Amino acid sequence: ACQHGVLSFLKGRSITSYFRDEDVFSPGVPNCTGCGIELGMRFTFKVLGKDTFVFGAPGCSVFLTRGVSTEALCKLPTYMCLMTNVPSTATGVSRYYRHIGKDIKTVVFIGDGSAVDVGFQPLSGAAERGENLIVICSDNEGYQATGNQRSGSTSQLSRTSTTPVGGKWQGKPQSPKYMPLIMAFHEIPYVATAVMSYPEDYAAKLEKAMAVNNGMSYIHLFSSCPTGWGARTEDTIEIGRRAVETNYFPLWETENGKFRFTHQVNKPKPIEEFTNFMGRFSHLKEKDLAELQQSVDDRLELIDNLCKMSDK
């Protein structure tokens, strides 16, 4: 579309049909400006539609699903749980609707704290039992609603309020849990990664999740947090795009044990083209960037090997 490579055509027609109905969330919400979770939630339920029951837990997404004070912000039926019992509570509702023969999508929309850490046991149990739930983990890599504490999915070397920078501390020393792969090894019917920077890809994965009727679907949604990450509010979409282009957050899916990339990055950018957008990585030196790059490369190689095994 442009000889200088500045402009390019995008295929947006595949998602325009989702915007014909009104938004199920109020126009005004108390999320931070540029919140990736708000953008992700609005789009998610455009695709999932109105025959949906939403379950949430304390976190940044709670403001949309629960509302503020006595005011509701969501037009869908919602139920707020503890961080430790969301899949368990949703299971009861899912089984009830299946029992009466009503086609209602039971959706768990939680953050990385509820999925990766505090609420992992009931999530793992529901996956093992084959509960018919759509679980979406909106991952902003930390407990952002309570002040940017580190979580199990926080990136290695990232600065948080509990992994500060200075003295002996240089950000989080541990590698993050790779939750999408953990869920894939539960052998549930569908697992995918997604980011709002690629809405066509995410919409297609939501459609596949809705089609599953014999177990859990799990989507790990990368969600930028300008406040906790020290990023500009206008860079939310670009940060997600750079996460994919550097292979920091590769886009893939597995259907019934078959892995495949849904967006192939032919010429990956160096990791600093992702980290440079955020203050949480501003302390990284050359050796730190090399360490983070190696971690990214190792994870990509693992996913690539799983995809190649699925082709055999």
Q: What is the model's pTM?
A: 0.94
Give the pLDDT of residue 9.
Answer: 66
Determine the 3-state secondary structure of 235 from DSSP.
helix
pLDDT in tens, 149-165: 999 999 999 999 999 99
Q: For 40-96, what is each residue's pLDDT tens digit?
A: 999 999 999 989 999 999 988 877 887 777 777 888 999 999 999 999 999 999 999
CB 61, CB 44: distance < 8 Å: no
Distance separating alpha carbons of residues 84 and 104, to the nearest angstrom: 23
User: What is the C-alpha to C-alpha distance for residues 261 and 266, in angstroms, rounded to an integer?
Assistant: 12
Closest CA to 137 of 149, 119, 155: 119
- Give the residue, 191 or 62, on which the prediction is more confident: 191
